[in-house]
Amino acid sequence: MQILGEDYNETYASIARLKSVRLVCVIAASLGLRLWQVDFVSAFLNNENTFKIYMEQPLGFDEGGDKVWLLLKILYGTMQGAHDWAITLDRTYTKHGYYTSKANSQVRSKIVNGELILTTT
């Protein structure tokens, strides 16, 4: 069991609203852009922990004794997992030169070789 302030602080992670997705679709259609979707299947597993989190061994896995594990990466289901992933994703977008929409922080864009790249997360 995680304890607020001890194992995590934030659990909020903003997500794309339906109207943001619609807006991106309208812009793409009006500019003749191609649309495609990416799913980060193991997103949390690529994210570092911001807190030290220990967990009991999963059922069916026994290294012997009453050992616990120190999680080096976030697991799906941890309290702060989505929040930490959203911060990591935002840092990555910024590092790659994307601009964040003032109307919706989940809509980002950049221009590469004269072509618009527009994303929503």
How confident is the prediction along the chain (121 residues), in pLDDT tens digits per residue? 666 666 666 667 767 788 888 989 999 999 999 998 887 767 777 777 777 888 888 777 777 777 788 888 877 777 777 778 888 888 899 999 999 988 888 899 999 999 999 988 7
Scanning the structure block, which residue is given the tokens 């949390």? 44
pLDDT at residue 109, as a whole number: 94
User: Helix, strand or coil for residue 104?
Assistant: coil
Backbone φ and ψ of 111, nearest 5°: -115, 125
Angle at 84 between CA 118 and CA 78, to 5 degrees: 130
Give one DSSP letter per residue of 26-64, joined into a string: HHHHHHT--------TTTGGGSB-SS--EEEPPTT---S
Sign of the C-alpha dihedral computed for residues 76, 82, 87 and 89 taken in this order: positive
Angle at 108 between CA 105 and CA 114, to 5 degrees: 155
The DSSP call for residue 12 is: -
pTM to 2 decimal places: 0.70
